Every structure is written in C-alpha cells, then in structure tokens.
Structure 1
Amino acid sequence: MKELFFLVEEALEGGYTAKAMGESIFTEAETIDDLKIEIREAVECHFDTNDKPQILHMVREELIIL
C-alpha cells in the first residue's frame, strides 16, 4: 500500500497550501476542507490508476513560541 505525505502550511495571503513530499504536486485552497478536495484531485491527475497512493497524509507544521 503506497502512502503519500503532504506538508500543509498557511499561506501569507490567506488560505492554505499543500506540497507533496517526494513528488512534484502542489495545490492550494481557502479552507482545509477545500484543500482536502484539491489534494485528492491533484493526486488523481498526477498518478496512473495502478500507481496511485492508497493513503494520503496531511502534516501541518505548527510553531510554538516560548
């Protein structure tokens, strides 16, 4: 079972961006729910049916300021 990880960040101009780790996939959306849809569509376009990952992970980097 192939997995693919996306690094999710808040965009400076608003909304969110997602970049796949190890693949040239990048997408953006205004909300997290919309971003999930955009990620699925980007993966569908990027991979052939037989090579498509079965599990997608969204990893959000959060800063903790001391």
Structure 2
Amino acid sequence: MKELVFHVTQESDGGYCAKAVGEGIITQGDTWEELREMVLDATRGYYDTAEELPEQIRLELVHSEVLAVA
C-alpha cells in the first residue's frame, strides 16, 4: 500500500480523533504531536508484517460546521 489516509476531527475537549479510511484503525491524542505518534503506533500495530505497512500516512483534518438558515 502506498498511502494510508486518516480523517482527523478535533474533539470538544481540544483533543483529536483519527480514523483510517478503509481500515479498522482508530486512535486519539490530546495534542497534534501526540496524535501523530499515536497514528504511527496504531498503524504499525495493525499490520502483521513490515511489507503490509503503507509507504506514507496522510492526516486530513476534517472541519464540520452547521449553519442555521432560519
């Protein structure tokens, strides 16, 4: 696999939650730096062999906002 993509959301407490697209990997971190470390650790632990590991990981910060119309 060339690239593994994680969708990242910021939680109400300020921390971050990351979910891999198409894989069952979910992790979280209190800071962006901690999240990066946790994503790497979770990814390495998810795959059985080094050959299965992605060449790179993309973190996509998802921003969602609801606007009232009326």
What band does the TM-score fall into relative to the shorter chain?
0.7 to 0.9
The list of structure 1 runs, each at least 4 consecutive aligned residues, that deviate by more than 6 angstroms after superposition, is none
1:42 equivalent in structure 2: 42
TM-score (norm 2): 0.83
> Larger C-alpha radius of gyration, 1 or 2?
2
- Looking at structure 1, the residues matched to 32 and 63 of structure 2 have their Cα atoms a distance apart, in angstroms, of 15
Deviations 1:17-62, CA, capped at 9 Å, x for gaps = 0000000000001000000000000010011211100110000112
Query: Aligned pair 1:57/2:54, yes or no?
Result: no
Number of residue pairs matched by the alignment: 66
Identity %: 32
